[in-house]
Structure 1
């Protein structure tokens, strides 16, 4: 019987599809940046110090793989992990859409599937954790909407109301009128907001509430991993500037929710193509002359983000040795090939790590099927573009 896990590893590497399992088994490369990230995670766990960072790299050089490695490392530290990719449907300039996607892709430690509402359902109305969260929602957030919402959630016995309130905490925000009606029905008291909640202005409250909730549940912190950050370059000018402002909530300690660590993965060409090519510093001065922070600081962070260097020859050899081992387990054979021959087979794969790996797997496939290998060729990859999408009507508000 072939090794199912090994087959999964090989097929994930062959396709180039990001895989947490690959991140778990191929975690030794790039020890310098992994040491820094490990230290940042320890700071969250031990000192409750929040922070964030940006990593950049060329296409196919392992940015997503690094995020998957951090995913596994965070889970081993008993930390909650959220993993998402920015897209047209999840743009960084609209934090409420980012929140919704973050919650949909939140994994509790050692869980293979996302979701945590089953843990929330275990909290009773008068438990210590409930009292702590209600006090926090009432006194420490920009608005007190979540106090009324969470108190209603804990005390309602109506399944439809429970579903509506739970959906709100997952990012499908309920309007103020239904929430006020539910609260009055349960407690016989009116809702009196200290500040009227709007999702475009106050979504940060939800990130803060959830980070406190995860801590109260006994987890050591919340790690937020955001891929495809370069897609911000396709937003309009004002939308990009607002996206930088929103990034500050994940990168700058004074804006971060408590006990969080965030990583943004960015294309290496973003600085040249967008920050310099579209004159972002000048745009910021023109659009927000009196309120350039924190967007300016975020632009500085993006401009000097550490770049993932190509793996050394020794690191590539270590990766290929593991691939050879997994390929043998996956297909129940013993690859009778020297490591030097396997390294030589990757030369046709170009300079990208991803295509080198595919070339090595194809080489092993041919040996397995035919007993010998032919010449492997890899076509050139297309170049990334950052043409702006047509702005939505909300961009003109």
Structure 2
């Protein structure tokens, strides 16, 4: 379910009043008495996209989900009893119930706990059935607790040959039992010992999902006298994405961090794929959440969000699309039984292991609006009037997103045009899952990845 908000007033609000400077990650002040911080928080909430300042000031009311998330982080950090593979959970809720706010909050918590964190939205450019593109997006959107810049470049600088974490990573990468193609330990050896900065940059790009010539790696091995120790041929393109994910997770730990948290927003877009790609997406969901036995990825923690009506609309039979009984047939017909089995697992996760967001109480809503009034007053040095306390509300009018945006927009108008009488109108509509084949068209800037011969 979604809602739109209109503010009726004359004249219209000047756009330039809300321009803000962007700041580097992890540098936002938490002092609620700081006007720039308050303005930054309000800007995100005004646009319906909570930013880090808003999340830090308002916190999160989803205590059950937060507690479970911290349990996952604790398991991932457990050195004595490390997890066998990736850990994760799915969270469901309607539009405007706080899914994106929750992910922003969890991102902040993960960074505080010493994890690298990536938050990304499933889109045409990041189709969920394509592991290669989702991985690249995760790298592009990766954040570190103590640095900024391109993730793999920064991680490469953090690798310390003398550290115990790096020694464990190097030993794992060179093990015959890790399931990796030999190109990965070969690139790590060259990265460690070669003095060629351009070659080092090429290797980090390869770790990020880009192509690299096998001859380039072998030239590097030759320079450091290691060519006889790393014989290999070019890997198959399809082999690389899952191996890159595992290698990158171990590299993150080798750089001294606890692991990699990846937050996947708007998984409901899968419902607009054609059935073959929906089936592949269910299989990918099983992979990401650590349910594929032969692709263990310890240290990886996943949280995904999806609309609460996804199961009824997509997996159930009529009036749903009936994927529960139809999605995997095409995979079986093509002899892809292993992928079909993963897809079945992914659908079971969606049906049985999804956590519903807790609806905020009237007390939660009123406390949030009062906190907003305080930071609004500080942000603009203007005494924002108190909002009438109202219980609940029907449909979208009872959701936190509606109440927050309507309060901020009404204060905007009253501050700039004291004689105005703003009224908030909303329109509720259901999420639509019509198939959109255009979502599956390859974008021009992202072709197949791999290693050139």
Question: In 1, distance between residues paired with 2:161 and 2:34?
Answer: 50
Question: In 1, distance between residues paired with 2:217 and 2:190?
Answer: 8
Structure 1 stretch displaced more, 38-47 or 108-117: 108-117
After superposition, residues 1-397 of structure 1 pair within 5 angstroms as 3-46=35-78, 47-49=81-83, 50-111=86-147, 115=151, 117-123=153-159, 129-139=165-175, 140-187=178-225, 189=227, 191-193=230-232, 196-252=234-290, 254=293, 255-276=295-316, 277-289=320-332, 290-291=337-338, 292-304=340-352, 305-337=354-386, 341=388, 343=390, 350-371=397-418, 374-380=421-427, 383-386=430-433, 387-390=435-438, 391-392=440-441
Q: Report the CA distance between 1:6 and its aligned residue.
A: 0.3
Cα shift readout 1:180-222 (whole Å, capped 9, x = no counterpart): 34433443625523x8523423311222122222223222222
**Residues 200 and 392 of structure 1: CA distance in aligned 2, closer, same or farther (over 3 Å):** farther
Question: In 2, distance between residues paired with 1:113 and 1:16?
Answer: 26
Question: In 2, distance between residues paired with 1:123 and 1:112?
Answer: 16
Question: In 2, distance between residues paired with 1:349 and 1:361?
Answer: 17
Give the SS at the match of 2:409: helix
Give the SS at the match of 2:261: strand
Question: In 1, distance between residues paired with 2:330 and 2:41?
Answer: 48
Please say if residues 81 and 222 of structure 1, whose CA atoms lie closer than 8 Å, have aligned partners that are also in contact.
yes
Question: In 1, distance between residues paired with 2:313 and 2:392?
Answer: 34
Structure 2: gaps spanning 5 or more residues: 1-32, 449-453
Question: In 1, distance between residues paired with 2:400 and 2:326?
Answer: 36
Question: In 2, distance between residues paired with 1:138 and 1:388?
Answer: 44
Give the SS at the match of 2:258: coil
Partner of 2:19: none
RMSD: 3.0
Give the SS at the match of 1:48: coil
Structure 1 stretch displaced more, 342-351 or 242-251: 342-351
TM-score normalised to the size of structure 1? Answer: 0.88
Please say if residues 133 and 213 of structure 1, whose CA atoms lie closer than 8 Å, have aligned partners that are also in contact.
yes
Larger RCO, structure (CA 8 Å, separation 6 or more):
2
Q: Report the CA distance between 1:21 and its aligned residue.
A: 2.1
Question: In 1, distance between residues paired with 2:436 and 2:313?
Answer: 12
**Residues 199 and 127 of structure 1: CA distance in aligned 2, closer, same or farther (over 3 Å):** farther
Q: Report the CA distance between 1:372 and its aligned residue.
A: 6.5
**Residues 321 and 373 of structure 1: CA distance in aligned 2, closer, same or farther (over 3 Å):** farther
Q: Report the CA distance between 1:329 and its aligned residue.
A: 0.9
Please say if residues 311 and 351 of structure 2, whose CA atoms lie closer than 8 Å, have aligned partners that are also in contact.
yes
**Residues 122 and 251 of structure 1: CA distance in aligned 2, closer, same or farther (over 3 Å):** closer
Q: Report the CA distance between 1:328 and its aligned residue.
A: 0.8
Structure 1 stretch displaced more, 42-51 or 160-169: 42-51
Please say if residues 48 and 258 of structure 1, whose CA atoms lie closer than 8 Å, have aligned partners that are also in contact.
yes
**Residues 306 and 373 of structure 1: CA distance in aligned 2, closer, same or farther (over 3 Å):** farther
Count of residues paired in the alignment:
392
Please say if residues 259 and 299 of structure 2, whose CA atoms lie closer than 8 Å, have aligned partners that are also in contact.
yes
Structure 1 stretch displaced more, 342-351 or 82-91: 342-351
After the TM superposition, list the runs of 4 or more consecutive aligned residues in structure 1 that deviate by more than 4 angstroms.
110-114, 124-131, 253-256, 342-349, 370-373, 390-395
Give the SS at the match of 2:256: coil
More helix by share: 1
Cα shift readout 1:145-168 (whole Å, capped 9, x = no counterpart): 211111122222223222211111
Q: Report the CA distance between 1:223 and its aligned residue.
A: 1.0
